[in-house]
Amino acid sequence: MMERFTGSFTQQEPIPDEGIEAALAVLRHGRLHRYNTAPDEVAETALLEEEFAALTGARYCLAVASGGYAMGCALRAVGVRAGDPVLSNAFTLAPVPGAIASVGGVPVFVEVTDDLTIDLAHLEVQARASGAKVLLLSHMRGHICDMEALVALCDRMGITLVEDCAHTMGATWRGVPSGRHGKVAAYSMQTYKHVNSGEGGFVLTDDPQVAARAVLLSGSYMLYARHRAAPPPEAFEGIRLDTPNISGRMDNLRAAILRPQLRLLADRVARWGERYRTLETGLQDTAGLRLIPRPAQEVYVGSSFQFLLPDWTAGRIRALIARCAARGVELKWFGAPDPVAFTSRYDHWRYAAPVALPQTDRILAGLVDMRVPLTFSLDDCALIARIIRAEVLAVGQSGEEAGVAVPLAD
């Protein structure tokens, strides 16, 4: 009998009991706004920031309303102005160019490599051609580029590095937490990321001026002294009247849900790693399918899994996705001509006036993507790999093509 998978690709683990208790306490006292505190009370939000700063070894941390907000805030805080070009990898998610657009910046896309990281040679070409002085680097799907080479290139070209760590919270490169190589980093706590408060984001930096600007931008009114993982009040003196309030604060309810999850992050990274490696082992040496090599310097978070079907026609990939879907395995494809649910591609972001990137087009045309929630067991992952492997071999041998777009549930 043909095996089928019956689990849900979008079902995350529940909020830990400790988070539920803490959230109930906030609801019972009713002080949800981060600056609404009783005498001598330290807000959950301020504690959360302190704890994430400690976890990553950063001096300053600001919790905000979303990952997208964190990126926009970080860009503004490093001085991006309307009309400025901002470099970014072309293989990323819609909120990344969206954050650049939110500050009036102009995205300049950089090619992706076969290993799904930014192409450093093309980065240099695009930096020279555009004159951009800021790179918003998305560690898309958790693939980390050679960070020493990247930082050296940015230093040499006077480029400020802003890291999007939506998929690398908890990951490291040569033991350094992802987000600690650039001037400032943004994280997301949206439901599908590594800690879950529905929505949420962090801005992380060692730079007191960037931190002070981010705090003011996020909507601190004149209550910045209530922050704990922020620079001292002197850092705000010169800028507090010149920095607009663009409200995007985190609230105490979400902070309460998140604090216990930060303590679970290392354990989650280990569990995601086991699931990732189970999938990888199950798909090894499948004719027609290329796995993405993972560099030894990287501790990645296997919250999603990608593989390439190099040189497959669109019709064959559609046939594969339909056959896997029929057996309960939900795959996403970065090669679809139109965006589907969360999956879109640089040339779909028309407002950014994208210029064709042939290397990225070739790679994304064969790129398949899958969520791996922690509710999957290792047996689930082994089963999913068996299904994909069997269908890749079957479609590869039959030469089957599907002509119509495959609807993908999300």
Ligand X SMILES: *Cc1c(COP(=O)(O)O)cnc(C)c1O
Cβ-based nearer residue to ligand X, 107 or 201: 201
- Taking the complex as a whole, the smallest distance from the CB of residue 330 to ligand X amounts, in Å, to 17
Please report which helix (H) or strand (E) contains residue 368, including its range: strand 367-371
Instruction: Tell whether residue 97 is a contact of ligand X (CB under 6 A).
Output: no
Per DSSP, helices labelled H in 166-286 are 208-217, 234-237, 252-283
Taking CB under 6 A as the rule, does residue 138 contact ligand X?
A: yes
Residue 211 CB, shortest distance to ligand X, in Å, is: 20
CA–chain centroid gap for 173, Å, is 16
Nearer to ligand X, 67 or 85 (CB): 67
Query: Exposure pattern of 153-178 as b/e (b: 16+ CB <10 Å)?
Result: bbeeeebbbbbbbbbbbbbbbeeebb
Q: How far is the CB of 329 from ligand X (least distance, A)?
A: 21
Q: Between residues 89 and 286, which has the closer beta carbon with respect to ligand X?
A: 89
- CA-to-CA distance for 128 and 106, rounded, in angstroms? 15
- Contact between 66 and ligand X by CB under 6 A: the answer reads yes
Show the 3-state SS of 149-187. Answer: HHHHHHHHHCCEEEEECCCCCCCEECCEECCCCCCEEEE
Residues in contact with ligand X, shown as a per-residue x/- string from 186 to 225 under the rule CB under 6 A: --x-x----------x------------------------
Which span (15-23, 40-48, 79-87, 160-168) binds ligand X, by CB under 6 A? 160-168
Q: Which is nearer to ligand X, 43 or 169 (CB)?
A: 169
Given the rule CB under 6 A, which of 60-68, 213-221, 227-235, 376-384 is the region that contacts ligand X? 60-68
By CB under 6 A, is residue 182 in contact with ligand X? no
Is 92 a binding residue for ligand X by CB under 6 A? The answer is yes
Taking alpha carbons only, the member of 303, 84, 407, 58 closest to residue 205 is 58
Residue 188: CB minimum distance to ligand X, A: 3
Segment contacting ligand X (CB under 6 A): 61-69, 176-184, 235-243, 382-390? 61-69
Binding to ligand X (CB under 6 A) within 334-373 occurs at: none
Residue 202 Cβ, how far from ligand X at the closest point, in Å? 10
User: Is there binding between residue 72 and ligand X (CB under 6 A)?
Assistant: no
Length of the chain: 410
Q: Is 242 buried (19+), middle (13-18) or exposed (0-12) by CB count in 10 A? A: exposed
Min CB(68)–ligand X separation in Å? 3
φ and ψ at residue 306, rounded to 5 degrees: -125, 150
Query: Which of 68, 179 has the CB closer to ligand X?
Result: 68
Residue 239 has, within 13 A of its CA and on its CB side, a CA count of 22
**Position among 85, 95, 179, 182 found at the interface with ligand X (CB under 6 A):** 95
Residues 123 and 399: their CA atoms lie apart, in Å, by 37
Angle between helices 44-56 and 252-283 (to 10 degrees): 40
CB neighbours of residue 47 within 10 Å: 17
Among 73, 112, 147, 166, binds ligand X (CB under 6 A): 166
DSSP 117: S
Sign of the four-CA dihedral 318, 289, 313, 108: positive
Find the binder of ligand X among 49, 52, 61, 68 (CB under 6 A): 68
Q: Give the interface with ligand X as residue ranges (CB under 6 A).
A: 66-68, 92-93, 95-96, 138, 140, 164, 166-167, 188, 190, 201
